[in-house]
Each structure stands twice: as C-alpha cells, then as structure tokens.
C-alpha cells in the first residue's frame, strides 16, 4: 500500500491518561442494563478496550443497538459502567462529573435547543455554566453563529429556524465553550443530504482547526470516512470488530478498500 | 401613490375590522346578560332584580369610600396570601415528591384525601382549631388550593423533556443554574395555569371563609347585605371580586404573552 493505513488496533495510551488532556481511555468496560444475571438483563457493552489520543477524530460505526450510544453516554459521564475503567483526561467522567465543566461538549442527534431561548442565548448556555461575563459570552456566541453562517439570526427563536440552522446553532453551542473534547451523536442524521454534507465539511474543519478530540457516532460509512481520521466498527454487544486509522492523504483506492472492509464487517 | 401603498391600505382596513369584530364578539355575551337583567328589573321588585344603574353607583361607592374599599383590599390580600402560601408549600412538596418515590408514595394519598374534603369542612376545622381570624382564613385557603398546586407542579416536573434535561446536564450546571436555565422556564406554563385555575377557586373559598369566620372582607359584607335583603349591595360586592379575578387573570395572560412569545403559532392552530 502506498499510503500508511494503520489497520492495527490503536496503541494503548494508558500512560497519557493521567494528563488533563483530550485523551479517552476505556479499559475492559462492560455495561449491563437490568440486574446482571437476571432474565431481563441486557449487555450493551462487553469488555471493551478503546483509547483515543488527543486531537484524534474517532468515528464510531455500527448497526443500530450495537451499544454506540451507551459508550457515548459513559464517556460523557451520563451513564456509569457496570465494570471496567473509563477515563477522560485521566479522570472518571461519571464520578468527577462536575470537573468536566467546560472541558467536554456534546452535539446531539437532534438539535436540543431550548425553545424559550433565542439562537444566541442557546449558544451562550455553556458559557453561562462557566460564569463568563454577559458581554463576553454574547460576543463569543455571536462570533460562533457568524462562523456557522447564522449572522442575522441571533435573536430568532428555534421555531423560526430550519432544521439545518437549528443544528448549526447546536454545533455553535458546543464549540463556544472551547471544550477540548467533543462528543457527537449522529448530529447530521436528521438533515437532508445537501445540508448534512455542508455541515460535515464545516464541522471537520472546525474540529481540526481548533485541535479538538472528537468522538463521532454515525451509521454512515461515507460520513465516517469523510470526517474521521480513525474508524472503529462495533459489533453487538459493543465489541470492536474493526479499527482503522487513516489520514487526509489516504488515497481514494485505500479509502475504497477501507469502505469495502467496513461493509464486510457490518454485513457479517 | 405606489403599489405598496395601494396594497397596504386594504390590509390595514382588514386588521381594523378584525380588531373591531373581536372586541364586539368579546363584549357580546356581557351585553346580552346586562340587557336581560335590566329587562327583568323592569318587571320584578327591586329586592330581586335591582337596576344595574343602582348597582353601578353602589360599586362606585365601594371604590370611593376608604373604609369600604379596605374590605375589598383585605379579601384580595387574603386570596393572594393564601395562594402564595399554597404555591410555596406545593412547590416544595412537588419537588420532594418528584425526587423521592417514598415521599411521593406517602404524600400522594394524603393530598388526594385533602382534595376530597369540602371547603366548608376546612372552615369548620379552622374555627375549631385556631383562634386568629387571619390565620384561620390563611389555613383554609392553603388547604383548599394546596393539592391542585402540588399535583400541577409534579406534572410539570415529570413532563419536562428528558432530552433537554440531558443536554443542559452535559454542560455540568450547578443546581441553581440547572433550575434557572432549564427547570423554571420549562414548568412556568403549568405554574401560570395552576395560578389561573386556583385563583377562581380561591376567590370562591375566601368568601365562604369570611362569611363564617371574619369581621371584614367581601364575604362579611355579603352576609350584611343578605341580612338587609339588599340585592344591589350583594351584587356590587360580588362584582368587586369578579373585577379582581379578571384583573389578575389579565395580568397572568400578559405574562403568558410576554414569556411564551417563543412558541410557534400554526396558522391552523385550534
């Protein structure tokens, strides 16, 4: 192969997990919903090991119900693992929940804008939690709205914006806090292809420009190849079936190979 | 004249006509009731159907006489005080019941039981249990409106969007910020509805309470009018309460229109 495609498991970086950076470390993580061993118990994640190095853009790919969102919620600190270790920047995101204030931002599948707030007030939300002075947060929020092509819509309520515009506001909200880690749960899946395509490009550019670590859940192989610099394909219950790293310079042929391999894994 | 000016004129005329139509439609039921009453006043004795002109002058008298108006003011203060007390206690109970299943299991049947007790029974209990008139009335007002406030707040808290809660949580807010940015705006519509509903109930209950156990207020004055067989006076005192309820409802509607301007309005809205 002419271009370096690291098809091996990404090297574990447990040592770097001590630093307060954008690293994500999951070691032997399992999540069982319901009482373990009981008939109604459901194992969503099974002994998962996964490391994301700072600045990496990881696309998590897999069929519906394979545990992507559970992993996402555990990294976000919204769900506690049943067993194993989850560390983000060296800390437990569930136990040290508050310490991640301003360090982690989430873009959800739906825009989740507060309907009683205008576009700019929605973008200001994260900054309010960080106690930024009102003038400063307004300025920052405005800057991000303009960056995402929403200049002039600052004072519009969500109901007056289109789906694409609302999702842009939610992306602006995530970026405005300048969080080191971005978690994205299929943020473009509810949009039409043209709008989603445009936003994907903008999103990838912003993540790279700002040196963020991003975990990106998607169902789309094309989206994963377009945005990510690493793809992890999951099989039920959330075990790694395929893990590949690549770069912007990876040739079209190699990308086609990766796509083919991912399709095979997903079909298996 | 430009085309724009030509097209704007019919639109303005339409808006004016719509406005006049809405005013007429709102006033029509009142005009009909007033006309029917006045018509009855022509044929029945004054003691049954007094002229509305008399009622109007009695209303004016109550407004202009400081001592008489104080009766209205004290009733209004009793209503607002009772509602505020019930709202604060109801909010605290509501939050506790949403947070703890055990508290919910314990308090839900108690509040349901309270809801089944007639207002007059609370009046009797209050007279037997307590001494001070004001505290008696406050107690009656709180006990009769507390269950509705509590259940409405519980329903509002449970109805909050989990997606939005999770989104706000993802920014790791403090409890205070969570309340200010998410909880308070989300439950405000239900709180205003609860106030509107309870306001009507409270204005009915306070009159009963004053009728039995007070030496002032609209209820007490109604009792005086009944003893004098003065229908014009009874109507005039009743109208004071109606005016108050309408005034507060208007203020609440104004708050709704301002606070909920974010809501999308469908052109085919019901």
pLDDT digits (tens), chain A, 268 positions? 333 444 433 433 333 333 457 789 999 999 998 877 777 788 888 889 999 998 889 999 888 878 888 888 899 998 899 999 999 988 999 999 888 888 899 998 889 999 999 999 999 999 999 999 999 999 999 999 998 888 999 999 999 999 889 989 999 999 899 888 999 988 887 777 777 788 788 888 888 888 889 998 988 888 888 888 899 998 887 788 889 988 878 888 888 899 999 998 888 7
DSSP state of A6: B
A157–B262: do the CB atoms touch at under 8 Å?
A: yes
Q: Which strands sit side by side in the sheet containing A213-218, from one edge to the other?
A: A104-107, A181-185, A213-218, A57-62, A230-235, A239-245
Looking at residue A20, what is its pLDDT?
A: 55
- Chains A and B form CB pairs within 8 A to the count of 56
- In the predicted structure, residue B270 carries a pLDDT above the cut 80: no
CA A83 to CA A77: how far, in whole Å?
Answer: 14
H helices within B44-99, ranges in order? 52-64, 66-99
* B192 vs A contacts (CB less than 8 Å): none
Tokens of B50: 């007094």
Contacts of B156 in chain A (CB under 8 A): none
- Write out pLDDT tens, residues B143-193: 999 999 999 999 999 999 999 999 999 999 999 999 999 999 999 999 999
pLDDT at A27: 93
- Hey, is the C-beta of B101 within 8 angstroms of any chain A C-beta? no
| Mean pLDDT, range B244-251, rounded to an integer | 89
Taking the CA of residue B167 and the nearest CA in chain A, the distance in Å comes to: 7
Residue B48 touches partner A, C-beta closer than 8 Å: no
pLDDT of amino acid A38: 75
What is the rounded CA–CA span in Å between residue A172 and residue A141? 7
pLDDT tens by residue, B39-69 = 998 888 888 889 889 999 999 999 898 888 9
Q: How far apart are CA A211 and CA A196, in angstroms?
A: 22
Does residue A72 contact residue A217 with C-beta atoms inside 8 Å?
yes
Q: Which pLDDT value is given to residue A82?
A: 92
pLDDT at A9: 39
Minimum Cα–Cα distance from A159: chain B residue: B264
Q: How many angstroms separate the CA atoms of B216 and B72, rounded?
A: 9
pLDDT for B177 equals 94
Edge-first strand listing for the sheet containing A42-52:
A42-52, A24-33, A83-88
A108: CB partners within 8 A, 6+ apart: A170, A185, A187, B163, B166, B167
Chain A residue numbers with beta carbons less than 8 Å from the beta carbon of B182 are 114
Asked if A129 and B171 come within 8 Å (Cβ–Cβ), the reply is yes
CB contact under 8 A, B164 and A114: yes
CB contact under 8 A, A108 and B167: yes
Q: By the CB < 8 Å criterion, does A117 face chain B?
A: yes
Contact between B58 and B236 (Cβ < 8 Å): yes
- Whether chain B has a CB inside 8 Å of the CB on A76: the answer is yes
pLDDT tens-digit series, residues B90-117: 999 999 999 999 999 999 999 999 999 9
Helix axes B3-43, B52-64, angle to 10 degrees: 100
pLDDT of residue B268: 59
A58 phi and psi angles, rounded to 5 deg: -95, 125
DSSP strand pairing (A83-88 vs A181-185): unpaired
Q: What is the pLDDT of residue A1?
A: 32
The Cα-based distances of B246 to A165, B202, B240, B243 in angstroms read 42, 13, 10, 5
d(CA A106, CA A93): 13
Interface of A with B in 123-182 (CB under 8 A): 125-126, 128-129, 157-160, 177
pLDDT of residue A17: 38
pLDDT score for A10: 40
Task: Tell me which DSSP letter residue A218 carries.
Answer: E
Percent of chain B with pLDDT strictly greater than 90: 55
User: Mean pLDDT score of chain A, rounded to an integer?
Assistant: 84
Sign of CA dihedral B187, B193, B196, B200: negative
B39: which DSSP letter? H
d(CA A200, CA A153): 21
CB A30 within 8 A of CB A59: no
A104 contacts chain B (CB < 8 A): yes
Q: What is the distance between the alpha carbons of residues A76 and A60, in angstroms, rounded to a whole number?
A: 15
- Identify the H or E element spanning A243: strand A239-245
pLDDT in the model for residue A66: 82
């Amino acid at each position: 192969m002419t271009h370096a495609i690291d098809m091996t498991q990404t090297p574990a970086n447990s040592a770097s997990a001590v630093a307060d950076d954008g690293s994500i470390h999951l070691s032997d993580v399992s999540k069982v919903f319901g009482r373990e061993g009981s008939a109604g118990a459901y194992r969503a994640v099974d002994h998962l090991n996964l490391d994301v190095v700072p600045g990496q853009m990881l696309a998590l790919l897999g069929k519906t119900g394979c545990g992507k969102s559970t992993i996402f919620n555990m990294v976000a600190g919204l769900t506690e693992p049943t067993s194993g270790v989850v560390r983000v920047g060296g800390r437990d995101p569930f136990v040290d929940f508050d310490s991640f204030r301003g360090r982690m931002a989430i873009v959800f599948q739906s825009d989740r804008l507060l309907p009683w707030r205008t576009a700019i007030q929605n973008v200001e939300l994260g900054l309010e939690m960080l106690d930024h002075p009102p003038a400063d947060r307004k300025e920052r929020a405005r800057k991000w709205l303009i960056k995402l092509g929403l200049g002039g819509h600052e004072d519009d309520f969500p109901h007056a914006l289109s789906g694409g515009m609302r999702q842009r506001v939610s992306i602006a909200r995530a970026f405005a806090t300048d969080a080191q880690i971005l978690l994205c749960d299929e943020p473009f899946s509810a949009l039409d292809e043209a709008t989603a395509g445009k936003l994907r490009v903008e999103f990838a550019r912003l993540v790279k420009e700002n040196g963020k670590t991003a975990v990106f859940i998607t169902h789309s192989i094309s989206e994963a190849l377009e945005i990510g610099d690493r793809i992890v394909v999951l099989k039920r219950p959330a075990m790694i079936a395929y893990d590949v790293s690549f770069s912007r310079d990876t040739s079209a042929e190699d990308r086609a190979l990766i796509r083919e391999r991912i399709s095979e894994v997903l079909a298996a | 004249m430009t085309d724009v000016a030509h097209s704007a004129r019919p639109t303005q005329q339409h808006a004016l006509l719509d406005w006049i139509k809405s005013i007429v439609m709102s006033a029509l039921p009142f005009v009909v009731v007033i006309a029917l009453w006045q018509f009855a006043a022509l044929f029945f004795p004054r003691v049954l159907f007094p002229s509305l002109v008399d009622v109007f002058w009695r209303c004016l008298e109550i407004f202009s006489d400081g001592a008489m108006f104080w009766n209205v003011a004290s009733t209004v203060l009793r209503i607002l005080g009772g509602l505020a007390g019930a709202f604060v206690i109801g909010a605290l109970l509501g939050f506790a019941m949403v947070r703890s299943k055990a508290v919910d299991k314990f308090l839900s049947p108690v509040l349901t039981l309270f809801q089944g007790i007639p207002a007059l029974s609370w009046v009797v209990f209050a007279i037997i249990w307590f001494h001070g008139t004001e505290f008696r009335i406050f107690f009656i007002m709180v006990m009769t409106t507390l269950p509705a406030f509590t259940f409405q707040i519980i329903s509002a808290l449970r109805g909050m969007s989990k997606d939005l809660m999770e989104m706000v949580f993802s920014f790791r807010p403090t409890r205070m910020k969570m309340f200010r940015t998410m909880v308070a705006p989300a439950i405000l519509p239900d709180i205003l509805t609860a106030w509107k509903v309870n306001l009507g109930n409270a204005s009915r209950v306070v009159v009963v309470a004053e009728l039995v156990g007070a030496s002032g207020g609209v209820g007490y004055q109604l009792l005086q009018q009944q003893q004098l067989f003065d229908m014009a006076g009874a109507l005039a005192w009743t109208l004071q309460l109606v005016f108050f309820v309408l005034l507060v409802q208007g203020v609440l509607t104004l708050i709704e229109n301002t606070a909920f301007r974010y809501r999308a309005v469908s052109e085919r809205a019901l």
